[in-house]
Amino acid sequence: MGFALNKLWSAPELNPYNSKARSIPVLNPVNKYGRVFFFSWMGFFIAFWSWYAFPPLLSKSIKADMHLSQNEIGNSNIIALVATLIVRFIAGPMCDIFGPRKTFATLLYLGALPSALAGTAHNAMGLYFIRFFVGVLGGTFVPCQVWTTGFFDKNVIGTANALVGGWGNSGGGIT
């Protein structure tokens, strides 16, 4: 069975045993499976966009404005990664208990407030707090992948996960 271009916008054929999609309706955000695909990568994209907003500004702008040392900049990077690591460990069980959609939304909300408050940091400690709580957004990778896995069948799940992960990660690159 070859690739048909119309599968990009058509409602997918479903596996009758597990009701998972056998194709990825990339251009159909109206269909349930297309919405899951779209919101998985878009939510992850927005999370990475915010999460990666700091690094390009740290070495010059933020460092100069807050009179930070190179060690303080390095510590803020470590703190952001530690937050992401902790959240990824917690996000898996949260997806099992509450589902990936609710976990995803919760993490996006938790990361939105510190992202909005980023300009309020005036010293290293303020930067550490902001970077820690913005680091929560790095954990959105887990519900992004779990959500997609729950909706796409084994013949396309690798491609679906690769696309939502890659397109989501591009938020960091676009930043």
Residue that has been written with the tokens 């927005």 in this structure:
46
- Sorted by sequence, the CB contacts under 8 Å of residue 26 that are 6+ apart come out as 8, 9, 34, 37, 163
CB 11 within 8 A of CB 142: no
Query: Is 15 inside a domain boundary?
Result: no
pLDDT by residue for the chain (175 residues), tens only, comes to 555 666 667 677 788 899 899 888 887 788 899 899 999 999 999 999 998 888 778 888 888 889 999 999 999 999 999 999 999 999 999 999 999 999 999 999 999 999 999 889 899 999 999 999 999 999 999 999 999 999 999 999 999 999 999 988 888 788 7
> Which domain does 80 fall in, by range?
28-174
The model's pTM? 0.85
**pLDDT at residue 79, as a whole number:** 95
Query: Is 92 inside a domain boundary?
Result: yes
Query: Is 131 inside a domain boundary?
Result: yes
Query: Is 7 inside a domain boundary?
Result: no
Query: Is 49 inside a domain boundary?
Result: yes
Residue that has been written with the tokens 């902001």 in this structure:
130
**pLDDT at residue 172, as a whole number:** 79
What b-and-e string marks burial along 127-160, b requiring 16 or more CB atoms within 10 Å of the CB?
A: bbbbbbbbbbbbbbbbbbbbbbbebbbeebbeeb
With the CA atoms of 84, 42, 101 and 144 taken in that order, what torsion angle do they form, in degrees rounded to the nearest 10? -50
Query: Is 12 inside a domain boundary?
Result: no
Residue that has been written with the tokens 């009179």 in this structure:
67
**Could you tell me the CATH number of the domain that includes residue 137?**
1.20.1250.20
Number of domains in the chain: 1
Residue that has been written with the tokens 């048909």 in this structure:
4
Query: Is 116 inside a domain boundary?
Result: yes
Please give the Cα distance from 83 to 81 (Å, whole number): 5
Query: Is 35 inside a domain boundary?
Result: yes
Residue that has been written with the tokens 């790095």 in this structure:
138
Residue that has been written with the tokens 């990568």 in this structure:
41
**pLDDT at residue 5, as a whole number:** 66
